[in-house]
Amino acid sequence: MPVAGTALGHVTIRTFSGEGTGVAQVNNISIGITVTAGGNTFRFRDVGADVVQIKPDGTLVLLITGQVPFTFAGVLKIDPETEEVILEPRDRSEEQLAKACRALTGG
């Protein structure tokens, strides 16, 4: 069964210049997504903020907060250079995918 979708929202990117430590960039995300199949509809949102921080030792840390559709809700903290996961959020992928499938199949 074909699935069609639309997304509407915005991403705001703010970059902070300067020397030293602290916040280097903030990306605010607010996107509403609607998918339809066979006359059924499922709506969800991608919302949150992605923050790049410079630590005192010069390393970067990326904090992804909020709700990432079909992935997680909470906070994901990684080292963007090594891709090492420092903090893992609650995985919602199976739960959310099952909910979407039920809604789109009318089940």
Q: What is the pTM of this model?
A: 0.76
For residue 11, the model assigns a pLDDT of: 96
**Domain membership flag for residue 35:** yes
**Domain membership flag for residue 106:** no
Residue 10 domain boundaries: 4-101
Quick check: 46 and 60 in contact, CB under 8 A?
A: no
- Domains of the chain: total: 1
**Domain membership flag for residue 107:** no
pLDDT in tens, the chain (107 residues): 789 999 999 999 999 986 778 899 999 999 999 999 999 999 999 999 999 998 888 888 999 999 888 888 888 899 888 888 898 888 888 888 899 989 999 87
Token look-up 């909910």 returns 99
Token look-up 């089940």 returns 107
